[in-house]
Structure 1
Amino acid sequence: MNGLEEEPMAPQTFLYGCALESGKDYVFNPTDEDFEHQLDLRMACVDPSTKDELQVVEVEGQDVEGQKIKAVLVSLKPSVQPSVCLGGFTMSPPVAFRLKAGSGPVHLSGQHLVMAVDLEEEEDDEDEEEEEEEEIKTLKRPATSPANKSKKKMKMQVDDEEEEEEDDDDDEEDDDDDDEDEDEEDEEDQTPVKAKPETKPKAAQNGKSPKPTTPSKKEVKTPKGKGEKSPKTATTPKSPLTLEQVKAKMLETVKKGVTLPKVQVKFDNFVKNSYKVTDEAIYADLWKWRQTVKDPK
């Protein structure tokens, strides 16, 4: 070992081809568990012996949830369209091909991609799937509606305003009591002054000299109005990420040491859940691009 890690085997590509005839299915399902297999179809064409009638090729595979699904792959006629380029139609096994119409033969050709299975990456993929399921569960939990939030906020504001008004009333009552106590102390501490013979002081009532008392200034506080809340502007939905933006974000995750899924179904789920991509064409382009990305060591 000498402290060096063994590098995984590079993906290998092999030639693939089959001839479809009426009443016979051709199944692509390698059983080698030590390797991952991908089928990349490139061309579909008729044979020189094919009758001049409509030849419809049907493919049967699995969808994202693992359920069987059937779809028409190509529709050919020797005199009108004898061949068609599929442009890299990638599928994961098991896949079955058959003629839905016509007697054939119809030839399919492409590439068979074989990749070594990394057990550590499979464990990481399982952990990522569990995390994605937990995130989906949390997203499905019912959130409090904006109307309930606004009602709760208005109620809290009303309670705060009532508490402030009560505190203001208590402060005003304390100010009045303090003013009365000060007036009484001033009257008790006041000493008689000798009057001059020319002027005579006015007779005091009840033995107390008249003293003009100024009324205490009370701050008149107007109740706080409950202003109307401006309606919240509706948030515009985020535009979906473009193909280049998704590639850039994936490269950032790879630089951080995260390994992208090597199985197309898992890779499509990863793209769908992590980057909210729903376009099937982007899935296919991203999967081709993923084959060129080197995994972190």
Structure 2
Amino acid sequence: MADEFFYGVTLKGANAHVLWNPESTSGAEELEYPRANKLIVKQILLGVEAKQDEYNVVEVETKSEDSIVKIPIAVLKVGENRCSQSFLEFPDNPVKFTLIQGEGPVHIHGHHLIGEIDTDEIEEEIDEEEFDDEEDQEEPKNKKAKIASQNSKGAKNDKNSKKK
């Protein structure tokens, strides 16, 4: 079963930013087998203290498949839009939220999911590692035995050839 936690941050002030880093939030450095993390952003809200006629733009920066992506995810203005529904998912990579325009406050909330460790998979990996280690240890013995038997056959053949 996965662990699920509420996630919430507030961006307030010009160029305010917050970094969500799954490596530091899950305690992964303490675990022998790290768990998968996912941040799900469900809603972005404009705070009641926001200034009239000011646009508040929230940008996200994260790693994509092979590059860094920077893109606005919400544009909020008092009287026009105080809330942005979003169901953005960010798996396992750090995510930086920045208020690139306006002074907020802008509230971002959602869920932080920490995946379950598959103990069966870990046991299989351990068994495979032990099996590989045993094979590595046995291999030199088998090679030595083969070489020794070949040498003894060769020695017998040499003796037989000398007698003729």
Same fold by TM-score greater than 0.5: yes
5, 8, 17: which is aligned to 1:17? 8
Map 1:180-191 to 2 at 5 A.
none
In structure 1, the partner of 2:88 is 89
Per-residue CA shift, 1:130-159, capped at 9, x if unaligned?
xxxxxxxxxxxxxxxxxxxxxxxxxxxxxx
Percentage of matched positions with identical amino acids: 29
Contact map agreement 2:51 2:78 (CA 8 A) in 1: yes
Counterpart residue identity of residue 64, structure 1: E
Is 2:22 the counterpart of 1:30?
Answer: yes
CA–CA separation in structure 2 for the residues paired with 1:114 and 1:48: 32
- Normalising by structure 1, report the TM-score: 0.36
Q: Kindly provide the CA deviation profile for residues 57-95 of structure 1, in whole angstroms up to 9, marking residues without a partner as x.
A: 000001112x21101111000111111111x21112200
Match of 1:35, SS state, is coil
Could you tell me how far apart the structure 1 residues matched to 2:88 and 2:107 are? 15
Q: Which has the larger radius of gyration?
A: 1
Deviations 1:35-60 (A, max 9, x none): 21100011111111011210000000
Taking the aligned partners of 1:62 and 1:118, their CA distance within structure 2 comes to: 26
Query: Which has the larger share of strand?
Result: 2
Gaps of 5+ in 1: 1-9, 125-297
Q: AA paired with 1:89?
A: L
Q: Distance in 1 between matches of 2:40 and 2:96?
A: 14
Q: Identify the residue that residue 58 of structure 1 maps to in structure 2.
A: 59
Amino acid at match of 1:16: Y
Residue identity opposite 2:11 in structure 1: L
| SS of residue paired to 2:36 | strand
* Matching of residues 129-140 of structure 1 within 5 Å: none
Aligned-CA RMSD value: 2.0
Q: How many residues align?
A: 112
Task: Report deviation, 1:23.
Answer: 2.6
Map of 1:71 onto structure 2: 71
* Whole-angstrom CA distance in 2 between matches of 1:46 and 1:94: 24
Hey, what's the Cα distance between the residues in 2 that align with 1:117 and 1:38? 14
Question: What is the rounded CA distance, in whole Å, between the counterparts of 2:89 and 2:108 in structure 1?
Answer: 13
Residues 280-291 of structure 1: pairs in structure 2 closer than 5 A = none
Give ranges in structure 2 of 5+ residues lacking alignment.
Answer: 29-33, 126-164
Runs of 4+ residues over 6 Å off in structure 1:
none
